[in-house]
A = this chain, B = another copy of it.
């Protein structure tokens, strides 16, 4: 962690439907976009803003666009130097992307995903990940997400970073105001990481995975399982099953 400005804000109201949502900006380059995003967070009751490895970050420039409304969010914003640390403790991670493609894991538009996200938020900490202003998220970064969503635009032009944040929060907030059935508590990203590690080792133990391309093969498995939204208990069952295979094969 590079720097953290903590401090509990008095302005922050307690009962926002988006209190379990975490906005994560990856390597933002324009401090004003971070400030504008903080204001958008406050506008829709999001308390947790995270930036990862920011380029030329400047608190004063960020404060200008955060305005009085976004200042409490900016003050409690956390700064990490890598994405893995930033997402620890989250149950679900959603990447946002303008570019579509076979390997980009885009399952749905924001509008399709929003009701599902709102249900998840009742009992789960969900991260919404935004790439930098220039390139967005790389395939490698999207690979760390459970799914990717997109905001359809005219001619697929890319939105300003803080506009993307505002539009996503607007849509999820409107959905979260409606009553919905809560999604059960999901396995955290750490639980999932451990599970995928055991799956890979189990597959290797029974010689089931092509040695020359383990990563691609694991991507297929991940793509399949990430659609299920595994509960904590289910992730533990799969992990236990794979541990057993490994143990048996070692004998």
Contacts and interface: CB of A to CB of B under 8 A. Distances in A.
Interface centre among A159, A162, A170 (most CB of B within 10 A): A170
Given A151-B170, A163-B163, A157 B69 contact: yes
A166 B109 CA distance: 16
A174 B44 CA distance: 20
B154 A44 contact: yes
Interface in A122-157: 151-155, 157
A39 B167 contact: no
A97 interface: no
Interface residues of A, number: 33
Contacts of A95: none
Interface centre among A154, A159, A166 (most CB of B within 10 A): A154
A177 interface: yes
Assembly of this chain: how many copies?
A: 2
Interface string A3-42: 0000000000100101000000000000000001001101
A160 to B, nearest CB: 6
A160 B44 contact: no
A157 B42 contact: yes
A43 interface: yes
A36 to B, nearest CB: 6
A163 B164 CA distance: 9
A151 B43 CA distance: 10
